[in-house]
Amino acid sequence: MIKFEHFPEEKHLICRFSGRLDTLICMSISEEIQNKLQELKQGQSETNLIEEKIDFDMKDVTFISSSFIRICLITFKNSQKGNFAIINCDPFLKKIFKIAGLDDLLGVS
């Protein structure tokens, strides 16, 4: 599941995930994230990229599917360079991003 923490004064959004992020769960999570990103875009300048720093906190995640990797890539693509990161990743999950060749691109730590 997902919980949002938004700090507008710091322009920072933290998305905290928990449990197994399988394909079925990711379908609903994707919609929630897209709605939140649209909300953030509304209060910004004319750029199509989100100015906020976005962190995906993976502290309580035990499994990710390829659908979740897709969500990460879409969010990365919609954010300004250097403003997206995946934090508190379990070593097993880090390895998945590394095998996919996305660990450096997505700022996995």
Best CA proximity match to 96, nearest among 108, 84, 85: 108
Check: CB of residue 60 under 8 Å from CB of residue 17.
Answer: yes
Low-confidence ranges of the chain (pLDDT < 70): 43, 45-47
User: What pLDDT shows up at residue 106?
Assistant: 96
Q: Distance between CA 109 and CA 48 in Å, rounded?
A: 27
User: What pLDDT shows up at residue 70?
Assistant: 97
Looking at the DSSP bridge assignments, the partners of residue 7 are: 12
* pLDDT, tens digit, 9 for 90 and up, residues 34-50: 999 888 888 676 667 88
User: What pLDDT shows up at residue 50?
Assistant: 87
* pLDDT, tens digit, 9 for 90 and up, residues 47-59: 678 889 999 999 9
Check: CB of residue 84 under 8 Å from CB of residue 75.
Answer: yes
The kind and range of the H/E element at 42 are helix 23-42
User: What pLDDT shows up at residue 47?
Assistant: 67
User: What pLDDT shows up at residue 29?
Assistant: 95
Q: Distance between CA 44 and CA 20 in Å, rounded?
A: 33
User: What pLDDT shows up at residue 45?
Assistant: 66
CATH class of the region 50-109? alpha beta
Q: What is the pTM of this model?
A: 0.93
> Three-state SS for 43?
coil
Domain boundaries, the chain: 50-109
Q: Distance between CA 75 and CA 73 in Å, rounded?
A: 5
| Tokens found for residue 96 | 């998945």
User: What pLDDT shows up at residue 1?
Assistant: 83
